[in-house]
Structure 1
Amino acid sequence: MTLVGKMPSPKSPGFEASLRLIPIAAILPVKQLSTAVPKSQKYGQIAASIREVGLIEPPVVARAAGQDGSFILLDGHVRLHVLKEMGETSVICLVATDDESFTYNKRISRLATIQEHKMILRAVERGVSEARIAAALNVNIALIRQKRTLLNGICPEAAELLKARHCPINSFRFLRKMKPLRQIQAAELMIAANNYTVPYVEAILAATDSADLVDPTAKKAPAGVTREQAELMRSEMVNLQKNIKLVEGALGPDHLRLVVAGRFVERLLQNDRLARYLDRGHGEILREFRQIVAQLTQHVPVAEVENGESA
């Protein structure tokens, strides 16, 4: 006897298999750009990039229902506006199989500072001039040179810690004044505090012993801070670093227990009999449970939840 199970229906693809060259006149935008957009820096960067290297990311469109040959623009309004200004009459597009008009770019992770530095280095190694990179990004060539030399004087361990972080370029300027071990400590403090701003790194530098500086003679007390205050700042920074280490030791296990407990509450609420019982006589508890599940879903990535279940 052969048992025939019901086969799951295959998921339909979200986009058509191939890119399509579409007349710009046949594309219907779903929003109107404000008059301020073409004057913005971001618009200028996109326009410069398209002029220098062409269109890298195709706009996303969907077929307009009941309008043969027409398409609704889901993503790429600025790019399409730039192409119109350049006199283009058609554009290569990615055609979605539905007309869900959500912002695709909100799912894009922007380049971290060190990642951008490495991309510029690779481009230069392949023969792209700094001037052309600056033109493509619509920035001053001096900024490209600053980004190209970003990690000069930064130890590999500190660079590894900060490789996925969005640190201002000037934060690295203060890190360079520290010796490698202190750079690592400073990077750990920045990550623990989730603070990569220039004033914060400058405060770490001010609280650094002269022996941990590349040039101890160049150390200057911050303006308006006495020697006693600077020493107190240094002492408090050392204590803060110790406390951060203590908290880090307990954070992982506590977070794992929180995830496992949250998943347990979520499974409890999937029991219809229990949910009805709580709704009848313990509505406040039920509301609290639902808030726990909602916060867990919002803040905990799927991978972390799965790790919690398997632990």
Structure 2
Amino acid sequence: MNNPLLGFVPDPITVPFDKLLPSKKLPIGLETSKKYLQIKASIEGIGLIEPLSVGAADKATGMHVLRDGHIRVHAMKELDFQDAPCLVTLDDETYTYNNRINRLSTIQEHMMIRRAVDRGVTPERIANDLKVDVSHIQKKLNLLDGICAEAAGLLKDKRFSPNLGATIRKMKPTRQIECVELMVAANNVSTSYANALLAATPAAMLVNERKPKKLAGVSAEQMAKMEKEMGNLQGQYKSIEHSYGQDVLNLVLAKGYLKNLLDNEAVIRFLSMRQPDVLREFSNLVEVDALDK
């Protein structure tokens, strides 16, 4: 039985290419792009690791609509593949599916490389096929070493530098989670931000309980102040996170009330004559598209 929480059937099926219907056109000049050449070289060298995504088969024709993987299909056809493993999506809306799965996250890339290595493909071969330095593949291969599952879960849909893992793993699990939460909340999942958070981390929350090298131009007093402010910021984040859902609900209800209020011509007339500034602010609130962003 399919899990309703999943967006696809978990077991892949093999589908011949003549049973696939594309859902979008490929861009002009694709075959000479660096991305396409890397994908083609990867498939030629180690095969297809990530299955394609397709809709359920049409009962009359047996055709599947290709939801995700058009570039991989084109590359496989050029390499004389006849079929490919596919995951059947449970959502019929192509827009909804592609809106959620647009490009591989860094952790998804790590998992694909890990699966390839587990199958016997060497990091050197992967690097050669993808035309990158082997050290880059090694960093992605070891990306989650020393990082707790909760912190990794927060990063699962993000793209970030493989160097980030080296910074995060210097902290103890509790501190890892705190720092990743701050980075995600600030929409700044970068190595430089992680290094700043590491510098502001008390020694007791580090793996070896020894402070890292001081940041250039930052005195001991400034570092102590940074640690204190970081602790305050974490407390504020937790407080906001706790009340966020209720606050958004209250705003949605308030917006609905204001909309009904401004549908009343008498109210509009009164506010326009007596409180034009209030009317302008109310109108701006009603026109807000989303209150949860």
TM-score bracket, shorter-length normalisation: 0.5 to 0.7
Give the CA deviation at 1:118: 2.5
Deviation at 1:257, TM superposition (A): 2.5
Residue 194 of structure 2: aligned partner: 201
Residue of structure 2 in register with 1:240 after alignment:
233
For 2:28, the aligned partner's letter is L
What's the CA shift string for 1:249-281, capped at 9, x where partnerless?
221111122344556778x69xxxx96x75xx6
Answer yes or no: is the 8 Å Cα contact 2:31–2:37 preserved in 1.
Answer: yes
Following superposition, the deviation at residue 49 of structure 1 comes to 3.1
Amino acid corresponding to residue 124 of structure 1 in structure 2: V
The corresponding residue for 2:111 is 118
Report the Cα offset of residue 217 of structure 1. Answer: 4.2
List runs of 5+ in structure 2 lacking aligned partners.
1-14, 55-66, 85-94, 273-278
SS in 1 for 2:112: helix
Asked whether the 8 Å contact 2:105–2:159 carries over to 1, the reply is yes
1:290–1:139 CA distance, 2 compared to 1 (3 A): same
Residue of structure 2 in register with 1:229 after alignment = 222
Moved more, 209-218 or 225-234: 209-218
> What is the aligned partner in structure 2 of residue 65 from structure 1?
none
Relative distance call for 1:39 and 1:258 in structure 2 (3 A) is: same
Is 1:169–2:162 an aligned residue pair?
yes
User: Considering only CA atoms, is the larger Rg found in Structure 1 or Structure 2?
Assistant: 1
The alpha carbon displacement at 1:133 in A equals: 3.4
Q: Decide which of 24, 33, 38 is 2:28's aligned counterpart.
A: 33
One-letter amino acid of the structure 1 residue matched with residue 147 of structure 2: I
Alpha-carbon distance between aligned partners in 1 of 2:217 and 2:292, rounded to the nearest angstrom? 43
Partner of 1:254: 247
For normalisation by structure 1, the TM-score amounts to: 0.60
Query: Retained in 1: the 8 A contact 2:199–2:211?
Result: no
Gaps of 5+ in 1: 1-17, 60-73, 93-101, 302-311
Find the partner of 1:109 among 85, 102, 114.
Answer: 102
Contact 1:161 1:188 in 2 (8 A): yes
Deviations 1:47-86 (A, max 9, x none): 3234332696599xxxxxxxxxxxxxx99886698689x6
After TM superposition, give the deviation of residue 45 of structure 1 in Å.
1.7
Q: 1:222 to 1:138 in 2, by over 3 A?
A: same
The alignment status of 1:291 with 2:287, answered yes or no, reads yes
Distance 1:113 1:77 in 2: 21
Kept in 2: contact 1:177–1:213 (CA 8 A)? yes
Check 1:39–1:206 CA distance in 2 against 1; reply closer, same or farther (3 A cut).
farther
TM-score, normalisation: structure 2? 0.63
Identity of aligned residues (%): 41
Give me the CA root mean square deviation.
Answer: 4.5
Distance apart, 1:105 and its partner CA: 5.6
